Amino acid sequence: MNILSQQIISEKEEGDEDQELLVKPKPKTKRPPLYKVLLINDDYTPMEFVVMILERFFGLTHAQAFDIMITVHKKGLAVVGVFSYEVAETKVAQVMDCARQHQHPLQCTMEKE
């Protein structure tokens, strides 16, 4: 039987006429794509501010935030987390708004995983 097409299953019971049962295949659901949120290094944003951003908007401990901040500083960028599109978009907006309010050029972006 072809799984992708509809299947007809016939059952025959004693004394009954043929009964047909129409069975539709279950569609396979896909998980939504995930997005990486990235922080990009610059020469002006204070390290303490980056740590505060990571703790505040990403729920990281001070030690985790410090490690990511060091990675951003040394490598130029770091993945802060992986989220659904809507959550990633919100995190990027929160970081960018906070950075602008404090007059820092910190950049935060997202890309498909």
The token pair at 71 is 């990675």
> Roughly how many angstroms between the first and final C-alpha of the chain, as a whole number?
37
pLDDT tens digits for the chain (113 residues)? 444 444 444 444 555 556 667 778 888 888 899 999 999 999 999 999 999 999 999 999 999 999 999 999 999 999 999 999 999 999 999 999 999 999 999 999 999 99
pTM: 0.74
**HSE-up of 16 (CA within 13 Å, CB side)?**
8
